Amino acid sequence: MRLDDIRESDYVEDRRGQGGLGGGGVGIPIGRGGGLGFGTMIVLGLISYALGIDPRILIGGAEVVSNMGGSRQTQQSQPAGPPPNDETGKFLRRIMALNEDVWTKILPDQGGVQFKPPTLVIFSRATRSGCGGAQAAMGPFYCPVDQKLYLDTSFFDEMKRQLGGGGQFAYAYVVGHEVGHHIQNQLGLLPKVQNAQRSMSQAQGNALQVRVELQADCYAGVWAHHADQAYRVIQPGDVDQAINTAAAIGDDKLQQQSQGYVVPESFTHGSSEQRKQWFMQGLKNGTLAACDTFKRSAS
């Protein structure tokens, strides 16, 4: 990615080295991992598929809807940290700035809603969020209660080592996916999904969640489309990075690796092909309308 001329966002908190959950920590919403490293949790997540348990630890979002209820009255976020100034922190501040600049323009134009920037919280091992405890084992996720994105930056290293993904544009895709959940929240979609899932079976709820995740993938593509139009940030090979990452975290690939067969009814994020398809849909079209995974077939 070409980011030399991109400003740095003020909506990034650095909580690395702040001591984790501390005495005020609460139960982990999904994917309890204790003190385990994320590499270990990926392995445990794959094994959990074989047992029929949804790990929901990769490229968060499945936890987005399920944590909207109940936690609102009991959770408190950890105090804000200073803006990061190391290489990784500066990169993330630029990616967030690109998201802010793009969505500030296109969300009112295409969605009729004024964009309110989310905050990206980067941490190490554990911290607190408005949705409960956040740990590295959960992977990146968006909390609609405090409208913040949570990311242990070691996730990028694990992407490269465990999933075969990596590179700046792949990391930008991860952030763009989580900002996509924030866009869904601002458009009022996430509360509707939560209400609908209450009366559904597990399989039906999973199928609806897949559409939420694929739309967030598509919104990440919409962001990349407009960021490149405005700033020419995409370089040769960048799109391949994002596609390879989307393929690596498809539910079907993870299940095939862990148990040797695929159970579509247990998908919560979509297949490798679906994730690639919807990211490219957003990248090519650049419109929210092109990302309506709820009306169009998600296959």
Distances (CA, A) of 156 to 39, 44, 178, 208, 252: 11, 18, 14, 28, 21
Q: Any idea of the CA torsion for 252, 255, 257, 262, to the nearest 10 degrees?
A: -70
Helices (H), 35-134: 38-50, 62-66, 87-111
- Whole-structure pTM value: 0.79
pLDDT, residue 61, reads: 43
pLDDT, residue 196, reads: 92
pLDDT, residue 284, reads: 97
Instruction: Report the DSSP beta bridge partners of residue 134.
Output: 127
Distances (CA, A) of 270 to 87, 157, 257, 293: 32, 23, 15, 11
pLDDT, residue 191, reads: 92
Phi, psi of 110, rounded to the nearest 5 degrees:
-105, -25
pLDDT, residue 258, reads: 57
pLDDT, residue 116, reads: 98
Residuewise pLDDT in 10s, the chain (299 residues): 999 999 999 999 999 987 655 433 332 232 223 333 333 334 334 434 433 434 443 334 444 444 444 444 344 555 555 678 789 999 999 999 999 999 999 999 999 999 999 999 999 989 999 999 988 878 889 999 999 999 998 888 877 776 555 789 999 999 999 999 999 999 999 999 989 989 998 888 888 988 999 999 999 999 999 999 999 999 999 998 877 776 665 554 455 555 554 455 555 566 778 888 999 999 999 999 999 999 866 55
Phi, psi of 220, rounded to the nearest 5 degrees:
-60, -40
- Taking alpha carbons only, the member of 251, 244, 255 closest to residue 279 is 244
Please tell me the distance from the alpha carbon of residue 138 to that of residue 128, in angstroms, as a whole number.
Answer: 13
pLDDT, residue 160, reads: 74
